[in-house]
Structure 1
Amino acid sequence: MFARLALLAALALAGCAAQTAPTAPAAAPSGKALASACANRDGWSDPAPPAKIFGNSYYVGTCGISVVLIDTPAGLVLIDAATEEAAPSILASIRALGFDPKNVRFLLTSHEHLDHVGGLKALQEATGARVIARPEAVAALTSGQPEATDPQRGGIPPFRGVTVARTVLDGEMLKIEKLRLTAHATPGHTPGGTSWTWRSCEGTDCRTIAYVDSLSAVSADGYRFVDHPDYVATFRATFAKVEALPCEILITPHPGASTLFARLADPATLANPESCRAYAAGARMRLADRLASESTPPK
């Protein structure tokens, strides 16, 4: 309880803290440079140049894994961390944008797998930032091992665990200066899956950005979704929730899942209010195909 109250106080005081890092350049690296650099490259740790997404939000991830930086006058927020091998390039991208990594205050996560949080410990050590996650993700983030109910348990390598400073509940809003980040419980790909939404503005043009967690029904060898109807029901509830999210600019933990680089390269296609519905609909169809294949006797 004391730790939670202390972090709540820190979040509140963040609104009063001055940002000491340099202001990001008016002309941030373009999405075209990112798309070109990552053409035919999608490795989890493949370095990529940073790019502006919209307003105060920037891409600082790799060619294969999204990491999003949000700038506020009270400090920086990072969503996801890619792999430990990618941590140096993430820090370099933050610096290339004109920011000081030491000014990263909070580290948020989508889901608790090596390719998205493997670099969390290294970034926590480099920045001193505090990790915030849903309660369902804490055990895996702390131990570095997927939970027993995770479909990919046993099929994905471990990572260095981290200290989680605070938990956030479904629908809870983090208030950091003028930034309002809302956490959405979206379990399925993992038990602790979390999506995030916030408003970002360029002058009077404001858009809702949705960082929506992976929705793919993949598993370790031997796992059958048809044997876990309760988990399948949770997955389906997540699809419905994602379809209803406020969502003008969609970002996904694997950028290719939402054609992010192509959209950043062509700003006219960046925003689409139907994108979350389309993303969920595609995932629903793939889960149905997986269940059908598991129910069909082998020939």
Structure 2
Amino acid sequence: MRIHHKFHMGIVATLAAAAAIAPSPARATDPPEWWSPVKPFHIAGPVYYVGTKGLAAYLIRTRSGAILLDGTLASNAPLIERNIESLGVPLHSVRLLISDHAHDDHVGAFARIQRDSGARLLASAGDRWALEHGTPRGDTDYGVRRFGPVRVVGVVADGQTIHWGNVALTAHLTPGHTPGCTSWSMTIREHGVPHQILFLGSITVAGNILVGNHAYPAVVRDYRTTFAKLARMHPDILLTSHPEMAGVLEREVRHEAGDADAFLDPDALRRLVATSQAAFEHALAHASKAAKS
């Protein structure tokens, strides 16, 4: 059962001399889709896609200004800003930034976007330190990919609902991929019919060390708790931080061709959780065997 709380804005954290951290440059091994532009498009209700071909960023328009969920890589910041403005939304009207997890390919652009727009960033307690220090928490097999520090002005709890303008967004803590990974849900009305949208925080292993993770010792427990929580959720529309995980761009092609229900798929989350959990258990078994040998 979701718990709703009224969100009261207010600065609860300030950056303390964190400007010394330099973002990691894009790597040759990064997929080129991560910075390949796509034309922004409408998904449903007040939700629009403003990301790249391989990294999602979602704009939610409200009567009190816009909300930007994720920002992609630091090098994509100018592109994301242009995408927002191409929808007729002035950058200064972006009032809130929301993080789903503190990795450079999803929050790297936030430092510039926050500076250019004056928007305030909301995040979970588990990712607050990483965001404010530009350094993700947790041991990985690919090293540390830093990003520009960004000031967090609101910390959200599990089940907390943020009311902004005519929109209500509920935070669901789904840790594992990062200690503070957060999924977000909202209800929209399309042609008078209500639909539940879930913006899913990442649930892949993606290089996380599962055995002997000294920086994040609860990583295995958190993944399993998250899989169990998500298995009880049944959104009508699933939106992911890597668009291919939910076929977001492919659905847009169908939507543009006239399929009004292209984004509706009440079974999408169940399928993704099942495949992700199986991949996690396989990776864990492999890591455990390697640790014993």
TM-score (norm 2): 0.83
Equivalent residue of 2:34, what SS?
coil
What is the deviation of 1:192?
A: 1.0
Residue matched to 2:24? none
Higher percent of residues as helix: 1
**Unpaired segments of 5 or more residues in structure 2?**
1-6, 12-30, 256-260
Give the distance between the partners of 2:269 and 2:8, measured in 1 at CA: 34
Residue 231 of structure 1: which of 219, 222, 240 is its match? 219
- The answer to whether the Cα contact below 8 Å between 1:82 and 1:118 also exists between their aligned partners in 2 is yes
- The answer to whether the Cα contact below 8 Å between 2:35 and 2:54 also exists between their aligned partners in 1 is yes
TM-score (norm 1): 0.81
Identity of aligned residues (%): 33
C-alpha RMSD of matched pairs (Å) = 2.1
Residue 252 of structure 1: which of 240, 252, 268 is its match? 240
1:170-207 Cα deviation digits (max 9, x unpaired): 10000112211000100000111000001122330221
What is the deviation of 1:57?
A: 0.3
Residue 254 of structure 2: which of 262, 266, 279 is its match? 266
- The answer to whether the Cα contact below 8 Å between 1:213 and 1:253 also exists between their aligned partners in 2 is yes
1:1-299 equivalent positions in 2, closer than 5 A: 6-7=9-10, 43-147=33-137, 150-152=138-140, 155-219=143-207, 223=209, 225-227=210-212, 230-267=218-255, 268-296=261-289
- The answer to whether the Cα contact below 8 Å between 2:142 and 2:207 also exists between their aligned partners in 1 is no
Q: Write the letter of the residue equivalent to 2:77.
A: A
Comparing 204-213 with 102-111, which one deviates more in the overlay? Answer: 204-213
1:231-267 Cα deviation digits (max 9, x unpaired): 2121011011112224111011100111111112223
1:48-88 Cα deviation digits (max 9, x unpaired): 21011111100000111000000111110000010111111
Give the distance between the partners of 2:151 and 2:199, measured in 1 at CA: 23
Give the distance between the partners of 1:210 and 1:6, measured in 2 at CA: 23
Count of equivalent residues? 259
Give the distance between the partners of 1:294 and 1:154, measured in 2 at CA: 15
What is the deviation of 1:295?
A: 3.3
Give the distance between the partners of 2:165 and 2:193, measured in 1 at CA: 19
- The answer to whether the Cα contact below 8 Å between 1:84 and 1:118 also exists between their aligned partners in 2 is yes
- The answer to whether the Cα contact below 8 Å between 2:161 and 2:170 also exists between their aligned partners in 1 is yes
1:8-29 Cα deviation digits (max 9, x unpaired): 9xxxxxxxxxxxxxxxxxxxxx
